[in-house]
Amino acid sequence: MNLIVFLKMVPDTVEELKIASDGKTLDPDWLRMKANENDEHAVEEAVILKEKYGGTVTLVTLDAPEVDEAIYTALAKGCDKAVKILGDWQNFTSPAIAEVFAKYLKENNLIDSKTLILTGSQATDDIEGELVYYLGEYLELPVYGVVTYVQYNENKNNILIRKEFSGGLRGEFEVELPAVLGIQAAENPPRYVPIAKIRAMMKSANIEELEFTQDFASKGIEIEKLYEPEVAGKAVMLEGNPEEIATKIVEILTDKGLI
Amino acid sequence: MEPVRPTFWNIPHWLEILQYALGFLSIIIFTVGFIRHTKKWRIGRPEKILLSLWQRIKSLFNGAIIQKRIISEFIPGIFHLTIFYGMFILLIGTIIATVDWDVTHLFFGFQFLKGDFYLYYELFLDIFGILLIVGIIIALIRRYIFRPEKLKTIIKPTFSWDSFYLLGILFLIASTGFVVEGLRLSVQNPYWKHWAPIGNELSKLFASMPLSTLQDLHVGFWTTHMLLSFLFIASIPFTKAFHIFSASVNMIFKDTSKIGSLSPANESGVEKITEFTWRQLLQLDSCIWCGRCQEACPAYNSGTPLSPKNLVLKLEKVLISFNPKKISNGSPSNGEGKVHGEIISDAELWACTTCRACEEMCPVFIEHPKLIVDMRRFLINQGIMDQTVQDVLQKLQRYGNSFGQSERNRAKWASSLEFKIKDARKEEVEYLWFTGDYAAYDARMESITQKTAMIFQRAGLDFGILYEGEKNSGNDVRRIGEEGLFEFLKEKNQLSFGKAKFRKIVTTDPHTYNTLKNEYWLNGNGANEKIEVLHYTELIEKLIKEKKLTINKKLNIEATYHDPCYLGRYNGIYDPPRNILKAIGVKLKEMPRNRRKSYCCGAGGGRIWMEDKTPVKERPAENRIREAVSLNNISTFVVACPKDIAMFQDAVKTTGYEAKLSVKDIAELVWDSIEQ
C-alpha cells in the first residue's frame, strides 16, 4: 500500500492560551504546539497497515514550531519518509490547509491506485472535522471520517472500513483505493517509542523540506474575533425534602421566565 | 604409650588404595563441575569493577566468615553457623590428618598428630562434629516440620530434594564418622579415650560385641563414611551446596559503588540470559533458595505474581541449562536463553517497587532490583507497558513532569506564600531546593511544600528554586526502564543547573534525592567544588542543631515514623528524621519493620503510575498502616516523602483508620513546633 499520512500541529491546551493584541489570533508567546492527537492515531493506523500488508508510509506535515520532534517520533514509530512543506501556515484553517495538501499531492503525482491517505478525523482547531472532507473534495476521491477500523483486501484492492455515527451506530463500508480516511482511533492506541530511538532517528533520518511558493486564494475561514468563554453562573445546590426542592425549582424557572 | 593418630587402623591395604583413587576421582569431578560454573558466568556481558581490595576482603569476611546477614535471622543463622563451622573444622581436621599421614609420615617417617596435640585435636573435632549434627537436626526440623512459607520452592534449578539430599548427606557423613570412631575406641580401648567424648559414649554401646564383629562393622562404616564424603565433594557443583563457592565469589565481587546508582543500560535491555553481566550471572548462581527476599517483598506479600526468589531461581534455571557452546558471534542462536514471556512474565517485572528490601535481606548479596530493571528496559524498548505508564512517559517527555501540567505551573504552590522564593537562575543562593514533581504539583502536597518553604525562611536559609527550569529528576523513569528518557531529563536539569548559581542542593522527594546524589555526578562537570545533596530532613536536622530554628512548642504526641525506601535502604538516612522528631517533642514508637527492614508504601519504581490489574490481597500501604495501628495509642504516622503522603493518606481511608491515625509529613510537625 502507498500510505500517506497528514499530520499537523495544534495548540497545546495544557498550556494557558492567551489572545494576542490583534484580538484575532492566539498569542505566540504563550503558545506551544503539539501534534494533533487524532493525527497520531492516523500515523499509528498507517504503521499497523504497513506492518500487516506491506508498503510504505509517507508522513506529510506543514512547517510549525516543534514539528520536527513530532516528525522524528513518527519516523521512529515506523514511517518511512517525511516531508515538511515550508511556509507560514500559522493562520490557515481547514479548507485552506486541505487545498495546500491536495496541491502538493497532485503536483507531485503521489497518488496511485494503491494509495490510502489518512489523517485525524478531528483536531483541536477543527472540531467539525472539515479538513478530511475538503481534502476528499479537492482530490476528487472517496472520503470517510470518524473511522475506527481499516482492513485491506489485496485482491480487490479495496478496504473495508468501520465508521462511527452518532447514537452509537456503526457502519461498515467497502471503499476502492485510492481513498481518503479521517481516523478517529487506530486499532491500537499509538505506540510508545523509547527516547533513545527517537534520538537515533534525529541523527540518521532526513526530513525532506519542500518550498511551496504558490499563492493561495484564502487562508480558509477568516476569523474576526477571538474571545475567552464567558464565565457561566455558579451552580446553586438545592436542599430540603423532595417537595421543597420541587417548589424551589418551579420558583427558579418562573423567575427566569421559562415557564 | 604416647597417644598417636591410628590412621588406617583396621583398614585393608586395597581399601586404602581405593580411597586415594576415589578421592582423586571426586576432586576431578568437582573441578570439572566448578569449571562448568565459571564458564556459565562468563557468557555474560562484561562489567567493569573497581579494585577496592580492602572492601572486598571486608565483604567476604562479613558475608562468609562471620555471616552477618545470615545471623540477622537468629535460628537459621545459628544452625547455618554450626553447620558451616562444623564442616569447616572437620575439613581442616581432615587436611591436618592427611598432611600427618601422607606427607610427614610417608616422607619423613614421623607423625605430629600425637601426644597432647592429638588429644586436643580429637576433642576439638568431636565438639564441632556434634555441633554439625545438632545444626543439621534443627535445619531438618525447621524445613520439614515447621515448613516456613519462604522455604517452599516451586522452581528448583538443580533437582527436587536437593535441600534434603544436602542435609541428609552431611548428617550421614557426620554420624558415620562418629560410629567409626566409637567402634575403633571400643576395640583399642586407649586410656585417653575420654578426650573423644562422643566416640567414647558410642563405644560403650558396642562394648558387648565380639571383636571380629566390631572389626567388620568398623570396615563397613569406614567405607560408607569414605564413600559419602567423596560423593559429597563430587556433587558440590551439581547441587545448591555450590553456594559455598559461588556466594563467596559473589561477595568478593560485590558492587562497591553507590547502592543508589544503576549502571547504564546496554542498548536494548536484557532479552536473553547472556545479556546480563557476568556479575549478575554469578549472583543468580549464588542463590540458596532461602526465600528471605520473598518474605520481605511488598509485591509478593500483596499477592502480585512477583516473587523475587522465584524470579532469581527461574533465571538461574535458564542459566544452568544454557549451553555456552550455543553462542555464535557473541549472541545465542535462535531463541536460546530468552528470559521473557513464559519464563518471566511482564506482570512479574512490572510488580516490583524497586524498594530493595529483597536485596537488603539477601544473605548472598543478589541485587534483584537491578536484574528487574534490566529486563524492564527490554520491555520499554519493545514498547510493551501499561497504557498508564505510557501516558506518564509521554507527559514527562513533553512537559518534564509526571502530572502532564504546564511547566509554568511548577511553582504555582509558591504564589500564595507571603514571601517570594528566589529564582536560583537569576540570583545566587546557597541552597538550591529541588522539590520534585509531587511536592510541586500534587494538590495534597501544596500546604506541606509551603510549610517546608516557611521553615527554610524562618531559619534564614539562603535558598531558591528553579521555577519552570526544574524537570522531573528521572529516578523512577530510570527504574521503569526508560533509560533514554532519564538521560533526556537529566540533560535538561543539568542545563538548568548550569544556568543557576548555588552551592548545595536540598530535595523534598527521596527518589529525587537518590538520583541527584548518586546518578547525576554533579561534581563531574569540571566544577572544583563538590556539590552536596541533602534531603530536607538532613537540612532541618542541621538547622535545629545549629539553633537556627527555635522550637517554641514541644508537640507531646506519640507517633511512628515510616522510613522511605530511597532515603533509608538506598541512602542510609535513618537518624536525621528521628532526631528531628525527638527535638520537637514527638515520642517515637518504632514499627516492628523499621530502618533497613522498612516496608515499602508501594509507590516506587514507577508503581505509582500503574494500576493493579488483578485484585490484590492487601496493598503494601494498607499493610503498613495496619502495622502502625497495631502499635496502640499512636496518633500520627510520620512520613518524609511526598509519595508516602499520597499512598498512606489513601491507605488510612481504605483501611478505615482515618479517624484513628493521621498521616503527616515531618515538615508539618516541624512547622507546628516552631510556629509562634
Same domain membership, residue B654 and residue B521? no
Please give the pLDDT value at position B526.
45
Q: Is residue B435 part of a domain?
A: yes
Same domain membership, residue B143 and residue B78? yes
Please give the pLDDT value at position B487.
95
Tens digit of each residue's pLDDT, chain A (259 residues): 999 999 999 999 999 999 999 998 889 888 999 999 999 999 999 999 999 999 999 999 999 999 999 999 999 999 999 999 998 888 888 999 999 999 999 999 999 999 999 999 999 999 999 999 999 999 999 999 999 999 999 999 999 999 999 888 999 999 999 999 999 999 999 999 999 999 999 999 999 999 876 666 667 778 889 988 888 777 888 888 999 999 999 999 998 888 7
| Domain end (from B220, B251, B282) | B251
Spatial distance between the Cα atoms of B35 and B28, rounded to a whole number of angstroms: 11
- The pLDDT tens digits of the residues spanning B176-223 come to 999 999 999 999 999 999 999 999 999 999 989 999 999 999 999 999
CA dist list (Å): B275 to A128, B188, B477: 51, 62, 21
ipTM over 0.90: no
Number of Cα atoms under 13 Å in the Cβ half of residue A78:
21
Q: Do A194 and B390 touch (CB under 8 A)?
A: no
| Domain end (from B494, B522, B545) | B545
Q: Is residue B390 part of a domain?
A: no
Same domain membership, residue B650 and residue B591? yes
Q: Is residue B117 part of a domain?
A: yes
Same domain membership, residue B182 and residue B40? yes
- C-alpha B647: how far from chain center: 25
The beta strand positions in B524-600, using DSSP E, are 532-535, 557-561, 586-588
Which residue would you say has higher pLDDT here, A165 or B527? A165
- The pLDDT tens digits of the residues spanning B443-452 come to 999 999 999 9
Q: Do B482 and A15 touch (CB under 8 A)?
A: no
Please give the pLDDT value at position A217.
63
Please give the pLDDT value at position A45.
98
Spatial distance between the Cα atoms of A96 and B485, rounded to a whole number of angstroms: 37
Model confidence, pTM = 0.93
DSSP class of residue B104? Answer: I
Residue B519 in 3-state DSSP?
coil
Spatial distance between the Cα atoms of B537 and B626, rounded to a whole number of angstroms: 25
Topology given in CATH for the domain delimited by A2-211: Rossmann fold (3.40.50)
From B397's Cα to the closest Cα of chain A, the distance in A is 8
Select the residue of A14, A195, A196 nearest B406 (Cβ to Cβ). A14
Q: Is the pLDDT of residue B529 over 70?
A: no
Per-residue buried b or exposed e for B159-190, using 16+ beta carbons within 10 Å of the residue's own CB:
eeebbebbbebbbbbbbbbbbbbbbbbbbeee
Residue of A nearest to B482 (CA): A194
Residue B208: CB atoms within 10 A of its CB come to 7
* Residue A85 backbone dihedrals phi, psi, to 5 degrees: -90, 115
Select the residue of B387, B404, B482 nearest A194 (Cβ to Cβ). B482
Inter-chain contacts counted by CB atoms under 8 A, chains A and B: 41
Estimate the crossing angle of helix B446-458 against helix B666-674, to 10 degrees: 50
Instruction: List the domain range (segments joined by +) for residue B580.
Output: 557-674
Q: Do A195 and B488 touch (CB under 8 A)?
A: yes
* B277, β-bridge pairs: B45
Q: Do A194 and B485 touch (CB under 8 A)?
A: yes
Same domain membership, residue B410 and residue B349? no
Please give the pLDDT value at position B676.
76
Same domain membership, residue B428 and residue B539? yes
Spatial distance between the Cα atoms of B575 and B560, rounded to a whole number of angstroms: 14
Select the residue of A14, A192, A198 nearest B385 (Cβ to Cβ). A192
Q: Do A16 and B398 touch (CB under 8 A)?
A: no
> Domain with B129 in it: what CATH number?
1.20.950.20
Residue A40 with chain B: CB contacts under 8 Å: none
Same domain membership, residue B620 and residue B563? yes
Amino acid sitting at position B142: R
Residue B266 with chain A: CB contacts under 8 Å: none
From A227's Cα to the closest Cα of chain B, the distance in A is 22
Q: Residues of A at the B interface (Cβ-Cβ below 8 Å)?
A: 14-16, 34, 189, 191-199
A interface test, pick of B377, B379, B382, B398 with most A CB neighbours within 10 Å: B398
Contact B351, B304 (CB under 8 A): yes
> Could you give the number of structural domains in chain B?
4
> Domain with B581 in it: what CATH number?
3.40.50
Same domain membership, residue B573 and residue B469? no
Spatial distance between the Cα atoms of B414 and B464, rounded to a whole number of angstroms: 11
Same domain membership, residue B465 and residue B584? no
Estimate the crossing angle of helix B278-286 against helix B243-252, to 10 degrees: 140
Please give the pLDDT value at position B614.
77
Residue (of A43, A30, A32) closest to A82 by Cα position = A43
Q: Is residue B593 part of a domain?
A: yes
Select the residue of A14, A15, A199 nearest B484 (Cβ to Cβ). A199
DSSP class of residue B417? Answer: S
Residue A193 with chain B: CB contacts under 8 Å: 383
Q: Residues of B at the A interface (Cβ-Cβ below 8 Å)?
A: 380-381, 383, 385, 387, 390, 393-394, 397-399, 404-406, 408, 482-485, 487-488
Q: Is the pLDDT of residue B594 over 50?
A: yes
Q: Do A194 and B484 touch (CB under 8 A)?
A: yes
Residue of B nearest to A31 (CA): B406
Hey, what's the cell of A122? 478531528
Residue A115 in 3-state DSSP?
strand
Residue of A nearest to B390 (CA): A192
Q: Do B383 and A199 touch (CB under 8 A)?
A: no
Q: Do A194 and B397 touch (CB under 8 A)?
A: no
Q: Is the dihedral of CA B349, B353, B354, B360 positive or negative?
A: negative
CA dist list (Å): A110 to A46, A47, B14, B190, B492: 16, 18, 93, 107, 40
Per-residue buried b or exposed e for A184-220, using 16+ beta carbons within 10 Å of the residue's own CB:
bbbeeebbbbbbbbbeebbeebebeeeeeeeeeeebb
Spatial distance between the Cα atoms of B233 and B218, rounded to a whole number of angstroms: 22
Q: Do B399 and A14 touch (CB under 8 A)?
A: yes
Q: Is residue B58 part of a domain?
A: no
Q: Is residue B325 part of a domain?
A: no
Q: How does strand B331-332 pair with strand B327-328?
A: antiparallel
Q: Is residue B239 part of a domain?
A: yes
CA dist list (Å): B216 to A194, B12, B182, B202, B229: 74, 11, 13, 17, 20
Same domain membership, residue B526 and residue B411? yes
Q: Is residue B395 part of a domain?
A: no
Q: Do A15 and B406 touch (CB under 8 A)?
A: yes
> Domain with B307 in it: what CATH number?
1.10.1060
Q: Do B387 and A199 touch (CB under 8 A)?
A: no
| Domain end (from B226, B251, B276) | B251
Same domain membership, residue B303 and residue B246? no
Q: What ranges do the domains of chain A cover?
A: 2-211
Residue B410 with chain A: CB contacts under 8 Å: none
| pLDDT mean across residues, chain B | 94
A interface test, pick of B406, B480, B486, B489 with most A CB neighbours within 10 Å: B406
Report the range of poorest mean pLDDT among B80-94, B257-271, B538-552: B257-271
Q: Do A195 and B405 touch (CB under 8 A)?
A: no
Residue of B nearest to A15 (CA): B406
Amino acid sitting at position B474: G
Q: Do B487 and A195 touch (CB under 8 A)?
A: yes
B interface test, pick of A14, A33, A44, A199 with most B CB neighbours within 10 Å: A14
